[in-house]
């Protein structure tokens, strides 16, 4: 029996409702890791470096899916909570149609400027050509990728997170199978890696689109609608924090890579790429819970059920604390085995990567609280506070630490930058939580 947004949530029910989204995020990260493993072991370290150089650019283009997904799902959930389901469907449909149009425009722009962007990132020679091939190939699947990012949130609003999980698993299995066929069997190199990822993204984006076009037993369905600029601006404002999070992460990744090329050469870029693949799994748990719980918070906020809002906040903070401790311990213990999966063929690179993972993973103790606090205010339809937390956490504080800490700690300062940024963001989030108690009455 499906759990409905309107219910009272115990720990068991809250975990049961969010676990499909959490697993979906983890599985998405896992098949991304498999992609990296094939590139690193079948094509080589330089190819792996080229993929990690250009990937943040592609993620930047895909951020609008996160913005409209998180901002739109909170707005639509609130509208459903207010008892206006027909209006909620019109808003939902408008968001999806607009994303398809924007995806088409960004695909054309990306194709034109891909080589210029790769040169700006200091790619040259074979790395430059691999960047362009990988980037342009994946751009073909940009629209499905954007829709996939958006539907992750709306499938939760539709009270069907398990469908999102099934689609994610299908997407991942397809990607891993095609990685094996294109890179290991047919030796298609970087092009094969991009083709495998792109084809799998069609599954992640198009299947949910077909599901919502047809009649279904959920609160959401694609219908005829009209463009409403006022609503779009509200959705963008509310989802700007999640867009800023993903946009900032991509921009900071670019900055990390450029800084690491100066300090440690391509080995530094490879080590950082491995950290990103691994951290996506751990951070994916936090993001999965935040995405899975946000529509519940939005619904009860719209229904003015303050008692349940307090219940959700308390339980969420306790669950986040437990996850933080367990994941940090796990990352420390598994740091060398995880690094070995990618670079067991290079002892020096293996040692650098292992130490980097151990230093970086200390940030897992804090990052979950910051991710949830940003998501929590998005769910309350307060995009301004959510955006401030995300902007400071993922861009301002990290950029500052990237430049300051290497002066003190050398290359280890790069790996510690996220930890110091998370500590500063935690203080900012705490201030916002305390200062808004009277407004939202969640404590």
Could you give the C-alpha distances from 55 to 45, 121, 131, 257, in angstroms and in order? 15, 11, 9, 11
| Residue 310 CB neighbour total at 10 angstroms | 15
Q: At what angle do helices 229-264 and 45-81 cross, to 10 degrees?
A: 160
- Structure confidence at residue 35 (pLDDT): 76
Q: For position 410, what pLDDT does the model report?
A: 87
Which range marks the domain in which residue 161 is found? Answer: 11-440
The per-residue pLDDT for 106 is 97
Residue 132: what pLDDT?
96
* Structure token pair of residue 377: 């205010």
Is 4 among the domain residues? no
Picking from 99, 373, 371, 372, the residue whose alpha carbon sits closest to that of residue 236 is: 99
**Residue 153, in any domain of the structure:** yes
Burial class (CB in 10 A: 0-12, 13-18, 19+), 422: buried
Residue 48: name the closest of 284, 263, 345, 252 by CA: 345
Which pLDDT score, from 0 to 100, does residue 1 have?
A: 52
The answer to whether position 3 is within a domain reads no
Report how many domains make up the chain. Answer: 1
1 in any annotated domain: no
Residues of the chain with pLDDT under 50: none
Q: What does pTM read for this prediction? A: 0.75
Residue 391 located in a structural domain? yes
Can you give the pLDDT at residue 277? 83
In a domain, 434, yes or no: yes
pLDDT score recorded for residue 300:
92
Structure confidence at residue 117 (pLDDT): 93
Instruction: Give domain status of residue 46, yes or no.
Output: yes
Identify the residue whose tokens are 């990937």: 55
pLDDT tens, residue by residue, 196-212: 999 999 999 999 999 99
DSSP three-state, residue 426: helix
pLDDT given for residue 168 in this prediction: 84
């Amino acid at each position: 029996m499906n759990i409905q947004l309107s219910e009272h949530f115990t720990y068991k029910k809250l975990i049961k409702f969010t676990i499909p989204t959490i697993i979906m995020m983890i599985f998405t990260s896992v098949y991304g890791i498999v992609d990296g493993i094939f590139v690193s072991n079948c094509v080589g370290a330089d190819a792996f470096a080229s993929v990690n150089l250009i990937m943040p650019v592609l993620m930047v283009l895909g951020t609008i899916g996160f913005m409209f997904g998180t901002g739109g799902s909170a707005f639509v959930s609130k509208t459903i909570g207010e008892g206006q389901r027909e209006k909620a469907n019109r808003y939902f449909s408008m968001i999806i149609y607009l994303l398809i149009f924007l995806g088409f425009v960004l695909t054309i722009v990306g194709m034109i400027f891909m080589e210029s962007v790769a040169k700006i990132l200091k790619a040259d020679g074979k790395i430059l050509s691999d960047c362009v091939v990988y980037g342009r190939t994946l751009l073909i699947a940009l629209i499905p990728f954007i829709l996939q990012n958006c539907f992750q949130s709306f499938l939760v609003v539709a009270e069907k997170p398990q469908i999102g999980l099934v689609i994610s698993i299908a997407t991942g299995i397809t990607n891993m199978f095609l990685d094996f066929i294109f890179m290991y069997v047919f030796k298609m190199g970087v092009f094969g890696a991009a083709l495998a990822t792109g084809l799998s993204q069609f599954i992640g984006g198009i299947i949910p689109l077909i599901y919502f076009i047809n009649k279904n037993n959920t609160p959401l369905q694609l219908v005829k609608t009209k463009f409403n600029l006022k609503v779009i601006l509200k959705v963008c404002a509310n989802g700007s924090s999640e867009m800023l999070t993903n946009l900032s992460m991509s921009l900071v990744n670019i900055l990390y890579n450029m800084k690491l090329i100066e300090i440690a050469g391509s080995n530094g870029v490879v080590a950082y790429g491995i950290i990103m693949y691994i951290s996506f799994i751990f951070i994916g748990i936090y993001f999965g819970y935040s995405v899975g719980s946000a529509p519940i918070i939005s619904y009860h906020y719209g229904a003015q059920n303050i008692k349940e809002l307090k219940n959700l906040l308390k339980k969420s903070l306790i669950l986040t604390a437990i996850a933080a401790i367990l994941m940090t311990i796990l990352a420390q213990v598994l740091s060398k085995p995880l690094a070995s999966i990618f670079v067991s063929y290079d002892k020096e690179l293996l040692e650098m990567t292992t130490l980097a993972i151990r230093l970086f993973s200390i940030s897992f103790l804090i990052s979950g609280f910051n991710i949830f606090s940003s998501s929590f205010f998005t769910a309350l339809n307060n995009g301004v506070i959510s955006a401030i937390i995300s902007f400071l956490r993922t861009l301002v504080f990290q950029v500052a630490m990237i430049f300051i800490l290497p002066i003190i700690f050398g290359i280890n300062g790069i790996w510690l930058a996220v930890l110091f940024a998370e500590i500063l963001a935690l203080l900012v989030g705490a201030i916002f939580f305390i200062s808004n108690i009277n407004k939202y009455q969640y404590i």
